[in-house]
Chain A
Amino acid sequence: MNKTHDELKSLIAPYVLGAVSPEEMEEVRSHIISCEECMAEADSYSGAVSSLALSVDPESIPDSLIDNVMREARADAKQPVASIPSVPDDSDRSNVTELRRSRPIYAIVAAAAALLIVAVLAGALITTTNELDDTRDQLASERERVEQLAQTEGAMRLAGPSGDVIGAMLPTDEGGVFVVHGLDDPPRDHTYQVWLLDDGQPTSAGTFDPASGVGGLQTDRSLDGVDGVAVTVEPAGGSPTPTGDPILST
């Protein structure tokens, strides 16, 4: 059934609000591609629709949400490339099966993206969001990504003695976000712990376990007055004060 221009035009507002049936969605979509007037009307509502989205009050983010996102991110990073039989050419397919099959592409960038997601979760990437439309190739250089994060305004860069390991602590509205690249797994029954230094006095920012060399955490401790950051290896669960020498510091 073909709708007239007027009928389709009356569906533009419901369409931009996502309030049409799937069939109408397709009809309107193909119509506005060829109709300047309707395209202009649809575009004119984009600010209003964004304002609806942005009117939502932020809530405190549950720890379980951060943990789950990080776990999924790490699981992707761990996905062995060899076990996946084929790489589809069409990376635009979005259903779950295709995503899983196309993991090799993502496996390359997954570790880098794991760092990205921690920063995005915390909103720490506001200054660098335009980099997000970078190509996947650029994202693939995970070391470079950490360097970029470390160079953002207000960030602190951490490095290990050999220079193989680098990290960044980024300030956020509610504290900080820490990301690291190049770390080995901690010894058995041990974990990594991040310390914020204020006049040399360490305060714990939490513990983390890296996956494929990539790790990170979010802390609600403010970075105001913090003049250094260090990472130590501690018994599982963490320690009240550092028990060993930093393996990574500012």
Chain B
Amino acid sequence: MFGGLVFAMAKRVVADPTMAEEVAQDAFLALWRRPGSYNSDRGSLQSFLLGVTRNKAIDLVRHEESLKKTKDALITEAEAASEGRPSAEQVVGMEERDELRAALSSISEVQREAVVLAYFGGRTYREVAAELGIPEGTAKTRLRDGLAKLRQELTNRTERT
């Protein structure tokens, strides 16, 4: 389960599946060599491992431009993830994931585009601005508003349940 999520995260960021596998491997080995780097006060092991994987993947694509995914690929995958139905084998955490997806689909399209390019695409806000043809200030605002909206949606959903 962790292995599958970590590998999927690496694949979301890195265009080459073989390189994604190496990233996933590095993330596990990093935890394995330094188990003390994980602090349970700051979230679940799952989200910690995914964060480590994401950062390693971003480091890689920033150094190897060719491994970077295109904007269109990133957006298509993000849309699939916010609409997709989980398959039967992903029973554990399915409801939680559904909630997250619903929250993600609630943020506006331009906000999601900016957030996805930054988080999964490894773009800095300056690169987001250049790629979308918007001023840097607008890119920063979209990232901030996207996160704020997401935070609000998640809070609303937690309160409802």
Q: Contact between A129 and B45 (Cβ–Cβ < 8 Å)?
A: yes
B97 at interface, CB cutoff 8 A: yes
* Chain A residues in 8 Å Cβ range of B44: 129
The DSSP consensus for interface residues of chain B is helix
* Chain A residues in 8 Å Cβ range of B120: 52
* Chain B residues in 8 Å Cβ range of A14: 118, 124-125, 139-140, 143-144
A33 at interface, CB cutoff 8 A: no
Given A65-B21, A69-B25, A113-B32, A174 and B89 contact (CB-CB distance below 8 Å) = yes
The DSSP consensus for interface residues of chain A is helix
Neighbour of A11 across the interface among B89, B128, B140, CB < 8 A: B140
Give 1 or 0 for each of A136-154: 1 = CB within 8 Å of chain B CB. 1001000000000000000
| Assembled-state Cα–Cα distance A209/B55 (Å) | 33
A84 at interface, CB cutoff 8 A: no
Q: Contact between B84 and A54 (Cβ–Cβ < 8 Å)?
A: no
CB distance from B34 to the nearest CB of A (A): 8
Q: Contact between B21 and A64 (Cβ–Cβ < 8 Å)?
A: yes
Q: Contact between A73 and B29 (Cβ–Cβ < 8 Å)?
A: yes
Given A17-B143, A50-B47, A53-B51, A66 and B9 contact (CB-CB distance below 8 Å) = no
| Assembled-state Cα–Cα distance A250/B149 (Å) | 52
* Chain B residues in 8 Å Cβ range of A46: 43
**Residue among A64, A125, A134, A173 with max Cβ neighbours from chain B (10 Å):** A173
| Assembled-state Cα–Cα distance A143/B124 (Å) | 46
* Chain A residues in 8 Å Cβ range of B119: 17-19, 49, 52
Kindly state the interface size class of chain A when it binds its partner.
35 or more
Interface residues of A in 42-84 (CB under 8 A from B): 44-62, 64-66, 68-69, 72-73, 76
Q: Contact between A54 and B143 (Cβ–Cβ < 8 Å)?
A: no
| Assembled-state Cα–Cα distance A73/B92 (Å) | 28
Q: Contact between B32 and A116 (Cβ–Cβ < 8 Å)?
A: yes
A223 at interface, CB cutoff 8 A: no
* Chain B residues in 8 Å Cβ range of A54: 5, 46-47, 50, 93, 96-97, 100
CB distance from A177 to the nearest CB of B (A): 10
Interface residues of B in 103-161 (CB under 8 A from A): 103-104, 115, 118-120, 122-126, 128, 137, 139-141, 143-144, 146-148, 150-151, 154
Given A53-B50, A133-B39, A174-B89, A18 and B118 contact (CB-CB distance below 8 Å) = yes
Identify the A interface with B (CB < 8 A): 10-14, 16-21, 44-62, 64-66, 68-69, 72-73, 76, 91, 94, 99, 106, 109, 113-114, 116-117, 120-123, 125-126, 129-130, 132-136, 139, 172-174
Q: Can you name 29 A-B pairs with beta carbons within 8 Å?
A: A10-B140, A10-B144, A11-B125, A13-B148, A14-B124, A14-B140, A18-B55, A19-B118, A21-B126, A48-B150, A48-B151, A50-B43, A50-B47, A50-B51, A52-B119, A53-B51, A53-B54, A54-B47, A59-B4, A61-B7, A62-B7, A65-B3, A65-B21, A65-B24, A66-B3, A94-B34, A113-B35, A121-B3, A132-B45
